[in-house]
Structure 1
Amino acid sequence: MKASQFLISTLKEAPADAEVVSHKLMMRAGMIKKLGAGIYNYMPMGLRVIRKVEAIVREEMNRAGAVELTMPVVQPAELWQETGRFDKMGPELLRIKDRHDRDYVVQPTSEEVVTDIARQEIKSYKQLPKNLYQIQTKFRDERRPRFGLMRGREFIMKDAYSFDRDQDAAKASYQVMAGAYRKIFDRFGLRYRAVAADSGAIGGDLSEEFQVIAATGEDAIVYCPGSEYAANMEKAEALAPAAPRAVAQAAMEKVATPGKSTCEDVAALLNVPLSTTVKSLVLSTDVLDEKGNVTKTQVWLLLLRGDHDMNEVKVGKLPGLADFRFATVPEIEAHFGCKPGYLGPIGLKQPLKIVADRDVAVMADWICGANEEDFHIRGVNWGRDLPEPDFVAALRNVVAGDASPDGKGVLAIERGIEVGHVFYLGTKYSKAMNATFLDVNGKPQFMEMGCYGIGITRLPAAAIEQNHDDKGIIWPDALAPFTVVLCPISPDRFADVKAAADTLYAELLAAGVDVILDDRNERPGAMFADWELIGVPHRVTIGDRALKEGVVEYQHRRDAEATKVPVAEIASLIRSKLQA
């Protein structure tokens, strides 16, 4: 490709609404152009990156035995009504009507459609296992789309779905996909972690997220530097304290804490460690009748150490808390007689259920709200000052320095961007849609399913968050829009420069190198700035003065300086670097 034939539309400044590095650089490099909120044109430079992502994914999925198909972006609502997701999914599911007033959805994912295909096509155990995948446009009506391709509304995703006879076969299919994903992300040339993830209502341990490591990532990744343990924050386990509860030493005392409504402020005022305070989180659960009317509300008080945060996924799995919500102010005032900020378990106005985190359950002489504005209570102890909690459970997120669950060290935390997920579904969709096959005994059985996704358009953004500097993007070879750029200096003035550039360009093309020749006759500074912004990893500069010495200049995007290379050796040098 020659630059004069291509569309290069770089910008010196990023648009004002671009917030994160990847959004700014993709806009400046002319890779994407905003069309609407969370909706982008993939410009030629950006599309080349996306196509390279797709090619690697497609190769490895095919190698793993998956079969490609394409399912419609617009899907009949009837299928989504079979599983109940048409009503349950919420406003992220874009619902539309056709001219006949029939309901449709714009797909955010395709479990329903692929299950419909399977129930029509798969009749016998002899046809299993099967893994069907697509690389297709999706749409999720995000409330607040932001960060460019990181959290857009329209995006491209690879979604795959496996179908098996039984759980053992489904687990085997899962492991095949988990291995294929590792090969895919290895080929991208990015630093990533595969971390255990929560399996939701399905249960079990067959769920992993693939996270690209980046300081700007939205997700917290928990890992043990001394072992293979890694999990996302939702899944990571905080071990129960090993030591028993200490003996009470202090008398219970109400203390004035005017205007201090957070544990941090109270600890600072009283000059005590934050870990001696206890925070009160008030939740409610509603019992509904057949018509959806609330017949009863249960209020819960969760107690966590002041320096810990609640893990909503863990809390949602506790008995009675599956569909919890945060309590309303009237509910709080009715049970505590006080507004939030000064709440505690002593002196309640109405009974409620108290759940203590395992760390709180072994605390002594702790501090909590007094259920009176501008006051807290210090020296609180279980058994002496209040009854033992209704039950004790793991409620909190882990923190750096916690013991690793595998006993091989302590936990560390880093940031990541989720770009892939493998997940065992079981019979959730096959039962809802009656997707059965005849087993070896001639009896119908529900198909066991798994699903496997990769964010095709999110991945380039994640790669940029991990690989950039103050000049622009630094692409890994596998993802770069062009792997090599040739930069002739003033080819319109120097015939030898033009001839050398054309010759090298033809030689690299013949060798299968993805090369672009910048024949725009730009000034060197502007030309170099463009390609450093775009992030092409290998650059060869061809100038008249260097040619007179029989050399050209090679520079990798990460190199501080260029290296002089004999003209006769530059093509083989490029090939060797790409092979490496």
Structure 2
Amino acid sequence: MRLSKYYLPTLKEKPAHAKIISHQYSLRAGLIKQIASGIYTWLPLGLLVLKNIEDIIRDEMNKSGAIEALMPCVQPASLWRESGRYDDYGKEMLRIKDRHEEDMLFGPTHEEIATDLIRDVVKSYKDLPLCLYQIQWKFRDEVRPRYGVMRGREFLMKDAYSFDVDYEGALNSYNLMYKTYIKIFKRMGFTPIGVRADTGPIGGNLSHEFHILANTGESTLYYDNKFSELLESEDIESLKSIYAVADDMHDPETCPISQEQLNVSKGIEIGHIFYFGDKYSKPMKASVTSQDGKNVNIHMGSYGIGVSRLVGAIIEAFHDDKGIIWPESVAPFRIGLINLQTKVTEAADKIYKALKSDEVLYDDTEGSVGVKFSRMDLIGLPWQIIVGKKAVSENIVEVKNRATGEVKEMQIEEAINHFSAK
């Protein structure tokens, strides 16, 4: 993509209302534009990151055996009254009426819709287990939306719903999703920590939050310092048995590990999983015939990842004082190609044409060298190919690793071959 034909409205100065790094860089790097409190337009560069995150999530969810669907944003209040949650949920639910004066709502979550989706179709234990997921926009009318996409009112979420015939099956589904979440977050460059947490308005009696460590996090985490060592383990029970809890679950009196073993850190929540048994299936009459011929309520779980929130979390984890440092797996473009002067345009064009255009953002503008360098550092593409006067005199370009700052000279053909091979 040629920058001269792209829409990238970057900002030189830090916006006064943006208090944390991810919010500042999201605005300055041209990822988002605020439309109202907690509501944003995703600009082209930010949307590319969002799509790359979606692709990772979709790939791992599909590998787990989950099946993608798409449920409506607007839901009838009747389903929420059926489950008993309509009056309990609070003001964060956006309630509306249609032209027929029917109560509707903009979905903050989709447990009721998911239960309704299967209850007239799934009737036998032979139809289970089943896991459906979607990647869909949601709305929660937060009292104090802040920190940009980290706590917006409108947000993109991956939510999945598992259906099993009994507790044992439901626990297997829960453990599979725990393992899948670890894989998803590691592919994005994170070291995720799964902590026991309160179930909140979703309900149930088993819940884990997934956090990354960050000083700007709103949660306080208490965890055994062995946790990171066990992340390579395939044994989910070992991971879950290690002491790791959110602040609302930590009791100093009953904590089973010593103060020397206990780490206390701030964290950003990036995912949450729940097992809630028949909390929804019982009132909504979603049942199956079991293997022994009995009619039993379906056991359910739900599993959420804040997709748009992850953009902010990644920036919090990967940045420096110059800008964002995108992990290659989620970067909007892999390479920033910088043309420093008019007389090297032929060499820069040659490199651009030789590489995949969807992986390269080619700065072919007439701005100053300083502006070009600072803009490319700000938007944080993993690699920079800098085409200066040596490209003409010696057939040499500079290749910069954005994460390490290391700069290496390469012959033009060598650089083309290097990036074409990966």
**Structure 1 residues 5 and 121, CA gap change in structure 2 (3 angstroms):** farther
Letter in 1 for 2:172: A
How far apart in 1 are the matches of 2:16 and 2:259? Answer: 47
1:233 is matched with which residue: 227, 247, 258? 247
Mean alpha-carbon deviation: is it higher for 413-422 or for 8-17? Answer: 8-17
In the other structure, the counterpart of 1:517 is 362
Q: TM-score scaled by structure 2? A: 0.92
Q: CA RMSD in A?
A: 1.8
CA contact (8 A) 1:224 1:408 kept: no
How far apart in 2 are the matches of 1:166 and 1:220? Answer: 34
How far apart in 1 are the matches of 2:354 and 2:171? Answer: 48
In the other structure, the counterpart of 2:120 is 120
In the other structure, the counterpart of 1:223 is 223
The structure with more helix, counted as a fraction of residues: 2
CA contact (8 A) 1:212 1:463 kept: no
In the other structure, the counterpart of 1:486 is 337
Letter in 2 for 1:422: I
2:275 is matched with which residue: 412, 421, 424? 424
Question: What displacement does 1:191 show?
Answer: 3.2
**Structure 1 residues 187 and 517, CA gap change in structure 2 (3 angstroms):** same
How far apart in 2 are the matches of 1:50 and 1:200? Answer: 27
How far apart in 2 are the matches of 1:472 and 1:532? Answer: 6
Letter in 2 for 1:233: D
How far apart in 1 are the matches of 2:392 and 2:121? Answer: 65
2:264 is matched with which residue: 410, 413, 420? 413
CA contact (8 A) 1:481 1:536 kept: yes
How far apart in 1 are the matches of 2:347 and 2:404? Answer: 24
In the other structure, the counterpart of 1:109 is 109
How far apart in 2 are the matches of 1:199 and 1:98? Answer: 32
1:573 equivalent to 2:418? Answer: yes
In the other structure, the counterpart of 2:230 is none
Unpaired stretches in structure 2, ≥5 consecutive residues? 228-241
1:507 equivalent to 2:354? Answer: yes
Mean alpha-carbon deviation: is it higher for 206-215 or for 557-566? Answer: 557-566
CA contact (8 A) 2:391 2:412 kept: no
Letter in 2 for 1:469: D
How far apart in 2 are the matches of 1:56 and 1:442? Answer: 41
Question: What displacement does 1:408 show?
Answer: 9.4
**Structure 1 residues 517 and 546, CA gap change in structure 2 (3 angstroms):** same
1:81 equivalent to 2:114? Answer: no
In the other structure, the counterpart of 2:239 is none
Question: What displacement does 1:21 show?
Answer: 1.1
CA contact (8 A) 2:347 2:391 kept: no
In the other structure, the counterpart of 2:302 is 451
CA contact (8 A) 2:31 2:42 kept: yes
Question: What displacement does 1:121 show?
Answer: 1.8
Matches of residues 139-218 of structure 1 in structure 2 within 5 Å?
139-199=139-199, 204=205, 206-218=206-218
CA contact (8 A) 1:10 1:30 kept: yes
1:539 equivalent to 2:387? Answer: no
In the other structure, the counterpart of 2:57 is 57
In the other structure, the counterpart of 1:71 is 71
How far apart in 1 are the matches of 2:100 and 2:43? Answer: 36
Question: What displacement does 1:123 show?
Answer: 1.3
Question: What displacement does 1:521 show?
Answer: 2.6
Question: What displacement does 1:230 show?
Answer: 1.9
Question: What displacement does 1:430 show?
Answer: 0.4
Q: Which is higher, the Rg of structure 1 or of structure 2?
A: 1
SS at 1:441 equivalent: coil
2:397 is matched with which residue: 533, 547, 552? 552
Letter in 1 for 2:158: K
Matches of residues 96-495 of structure 1 in structure 2 within 5 Å?
96-199=96-199, 204=205, 206-226=206-226, 228-240=242-254, 405-406=256-257, 409-490=260-341, 493-494=342-343
CA contact (8 A) 1:190 1:476 kept: no
Unpaired stretches in structure 1, ≥5 consecutive residues? 241-403
Aligned length: 407
SS at 1:135 equivalent: strand
In the other structure, the counterpart of 1:374 is none
How far apart in 1 are the matches of 2:98 and 2:107? Answer: 15
CA contact (8 A) 1:226 1:408 kept: no
CA contact (8 A) 2:93 2:106 kept: yes
How far apart in 1 are the matches of 2:159 and 2:181? Answer: 12
Deviation by residue 1:145-188 (Cα, 9 ceiling, x = unmatched)? 11110111001000000000100000001111111111100110
Deviation by residue 1:262-299 (Cα, 9 ceiling, x = unmatched)? xxxxxxxxxxxxxxxxxxxxxxxxxxxxxxxxxxxxxx
CA contact (8 A) 2:204 2:276 kept: no
How far apart in 2 are the matches of 1:123 and 1:539? Answer: 57
How far apart in 2 are the matches of 1:218 and 1:18? Answer: 16
In the other structure, the counterpart of 1:260 is none
